[in-house]
Chains A and B, each alone.
Chain A
Amino acid sequence: MKYQTQKIAQAYFLVAMALFAIQVSGGLLAGWIYISPNTLSELLPFNIVRMLHTNSLVVWLLLGFMGAAYFLIPEESEQEIHSPFLAYLTLIIMVVGTLGVVVTYIFNLFEGNAILGQEGREFLEQPLWVKAGIVVAALIFLYNVSMTLLKGKKTAISSVLLIGLWGLALLFLFAFYNPANLALDKKYWWYVIHLWVEGVWELIMASILAFLMLKLTGVDREIVEKWLYVIVATALFSGILGTGHHYYWIGTPGYWQWIGSIFSTLEVVPFFGMMAFAFVMVWKGQRDHPNKAALLWALGCAVLAFFGAGVWGFMHTLHGVNYYSHGTQITAAHGHLAFFGAYVALNLAIFTYAFPILKNRDPYNQVLNMASFWLMAGGMTFMTFVLTFAGVVQTHLQRVMGENFMDVQDQIEIFYIMRFGSGIAVVLGALLFIYAVLAPRKEVIEPGHMQQRAAAE
């Protein structure tokens, strides 16, 4: 660790990983409710479980991004973080807010109260005081990292990261607008979540990947930056108007069908670019970095993001296809692999890279970490395939044959059972990952004969 304030990242990463464990456990519970629908139906209804699963995902990814910023901005700008106190204060606000949301979701203590109570929304559902807290935390965070960057060296990687983080915070402001009209509510909801994951988060993703490639492969910064600019340009070009693919059937004018279809098809390009970038850097790179697990996660991230976000997204993004597949398990398949590939794997990659440095130990032996990669990636791809098959059958029975929704659900139960099995693999993988990152392994693994030969040459 070159800069003492990089240590801040560790606190963020720990909270993020704790939420990660809760998030996947909640996912497992939701997967079980698909098999046995009356589970906890009174205590913890499915819509609450699902909201906890998706919203805790978003929160822990955000905490991971913030931690990543605290880790890499000092190194990039060659400058200690402006104020460590403010950095920890932000984390405390985020944690209190998260707990407040969970309590409000589950117990609904302040029904009808404008500031403390639920807003009655499906996803942008936080009590107003938490929303305000998130904005305050975001402002403090942005002030802190921007001041650091302004004092130090400005690189393409840290600048793109900062633009992404600013965009993230500004777009959240749409969450304060709560129109009575449900169609309008959806419209503005996408201003937040779509423009996040298919806009500014891609900037954050590209810059963190670029940082990892720079460190792990030793390719020249100039080359990394050229790729970064091209990826960022194509991401923003396609992603912003790509929002149109959410406006097919919510009462917006028909031209959105063509805007959405055309631009969101091009959204595949930046994800392909990131995958190509990662592999080309590894091929060109001269450095044999010992942290092989971080490299595995980084490459896995780029590949799974391309398939999950790119290929699985394209599969149902054309409005002619989406007319049939909208809201079926196809969407769930895409959502799972896209979030896992693009943003979960990205966070786990930077955790894997950072932890040995933060804890000041060499990455002795990462067999467990790599095993957790294959367990999680394998579980998640299996889940994606199973849900895709379920979605195809569901689309045909429900949308083509016109059968009743619940009759169709009965017929695709076998897929839900298999999905639950793959969910167990993912949860075990997640727990194994957390253990592998936190508990040092003492014995050193001998490198394989390939590496020994390479070292001898």
Chain B
Amino acid sequence: MSEAKEQGLLAELPGDLMMWVLIISELLVFGAGLAAFLAVRISDPAGFADAQDHLDRAAGGLNTAVLVTSGLCAALANRDGAQGQRKQARLWLAGAAALGLVFLWVKAIEYGDKLSAGIGTETHPFFTFYYLLTGFHAAHVVAGIVILGFIACYDSPRNLETGTAFWHMVDLIWVLLFPVIYLLR
């Protein structure tokens, strides 16, 4: 492949190249985490099923709807920002971030219920992965809200692309985590 072509392909990616390096790294980490979860699950399917029954599937489902809707807001912010409608774009970003906070609030209630029921990271391997994967994801939601705030302040179309790409990744990872951890029997 010629030099110019190579540069061209990388340049076609929306947003900053480094964000894509980060996104691929994150997908590798969560992918490996889910693969490890599934591998350990094989060793104790009944124990994993019992443990899973302690999860609040309705809260997980609600959070899925919340985060996907938030992703829509981010996409609309990106579209409006590209058309120069900066105020509109900022409103959509605020909406996306607010829904991110709703997600964290629901998540906090879930963690509180688990902890008050005496379920910790060492209770069962299922919960080690539950806390690890959803906790690590929640940390990314926090980081994502900070990034959304940042791009609302510095709202060049390129920054919007870079920031919302991160937010979509957070969204995508939840859509992978939710069925595997909460629903898979």
Is B42 part of the binding interface, using a Cβ–Cβ cutoff of 8 Å?
Answer: no
A-contact 0/1 string along B8-35, CB 8 Å cutoff:
0000000001100110010011001100
B32 close to A265 (CB less than 8 A): yes
Given A258-B36, A284-B3: 20 more A-B contacts, CB < 8 Å:
A229-B17, A229-B18, A230-B17, A230-B18, A233-B21, A233-B22, A234-B21, A237-B25, A238-B25, A253-B122, A255-B128, A255-B131, A258-B33, A258-B129, A259-B132, A262-B32, A263-B29, A266-B25, A266-B28, A269-B25
Report the interface size class on chain A.
10 to 19
**Given the known A-B contacts A230-B21, A258-B132, are A266 and B121 also in contact in the complex, defined by CB atoms under 8 Å?**
no
**Given the known A-B contacts A255-B128, A255-B132, A258-B128, are A266 and B22 also in contact in the complex, defined by CB atoms under 8 Å?**
no
Tell me the smallest distance from the CB of B132 to a CB of chain A, in Å.
5
Tell me the smallest distance from the CB of A198 to a CB of chain B, in Å.
15
Once the chains are docked, how many angstroms separate the CA of A265 from the CA of B29?
Answer: 10
Tell me the smallest distance from the CB of B80 to a CB of chain A, in Å.
30
Tell me the smallest distance from the CB of B29 to a CB of chain A, in Å.
6
| Chain A residue nearest in CB terms to B10 | A226
Chain A residues within 8 Å of B, Cβ to Cβ: 226, 229-230, 233-234, 237-238, 253-255, 258-259, 261-263, 265-266, 269, 284
Tell me the smallest distance from the CB of B46 to a CB of chain A, in Å.
21
| Chain A residue nearest in CB terms to B35 | A262
| Chain A residue nearest in CB terms to B28 | A266
B121 close to A255 (CB less than 8 A): yes
CB-defined contacts of B25 to chain A, threshold 8 Å? 233-234, 237-238, 266, 269
| Chain A residue nearest in CB terms to B128 | A255
Total chain B interface residues with beta-carbon distance under 8 A: 17
CB-defined contacts of B22 to chain A, threshold 8 Å? 233, 237
Cross-chain pair count, CB within 8 angstroms? 42
**Can you name 7 A-B residue pairings with CB atoms under 8 Å?**
A226-B17, A229-B17, A233-B25, A234-B25, A258-B128, A262-B33, A266-B28
B21 close to A262 (CB less than 8 A): no
Chain B residues within 8 Å of A, Cβ to Cβ: 3, 17-18, 21-22, 25, 28-29, 32-33, 36, 121-122, 128-129, 131-132
A266 close to B132 (CB less than 8 A): no
Interface centre among A253, A259, A262, A269, by most B CB within 10 Å? A262
A262 close to B18 (CB less than 8 A): no
**Given the known A-B contacts A234-B25, A262-B33, A263-B29, are A254 and B18 also in contact in the complex, defined by CB atoms under 8 Å?**
no
**Given the known A-B contacts A226-B17, A234-B25, are A254 and B36 also in contact in the complex, defined by CB atoms under 8 Å?**
no
CB-defined contacts of B121 to chain A, threshold 8 Å? 253-255
Interface centre among A238, A253, A258, A263, by most B CB within 10 Å? A258
Tell me the smallest distance from the CB of B71 to a CB of chain A, in Å.
23
CB-defined contacts of B129 to chain A, threshold 8 Å? 258
User: In the complex, which of the residues A234, A237, A262, A263 contacts B36, with contact meaning CB atoms closer than 8 Å?
Assistant: A262
Once the chains are docked, how many angstroms separate the CA of A284 from the CA of B129?
Answer: 45
CB-defined contacts of A258 to chain B, threshold 8 Å? 33, 36, 128-129, 132
**Given the known A-B contacts A238-B25, A266-B25, are A254 and B128 also in contact in the complex, defined by CB atoms under 8 Å?**
yes
Tell me the smallest distance from the CB of B22 to a CB of chain A, in Å.
7
CB-defined contacts of A262 to chain B, threshold 8 Å? 29, 32-33, 36
Once the chains are docked, how many angstroms separate the CA of A263 from the CA of B26?
Answer: 10
Once the chains are docked, how many angstroms separate the CA of A343 from the CA of B155?
Answer: 42
CB-defined contacts of B131 to chain A, threshold 8 Å? 255
Interface centre among B3, B29, B121, by most A CB within 10 Å? B29
Tell me the smallest distance from the CB of A269 to a CB of chain B, in Å.
8
CB-defined contacts of B29 to chain A, threshold 8 Å? 262-263, 266
CB-defined contacts of A237 to chain B, threshold 8 Å? 22, 25
CB-defined contacts of A255 to chain B, threshold 8 Å? 121, 128, 131-132
CB-defined contacts of B18 to chain A, threshold 8 Å? 229-230, 233
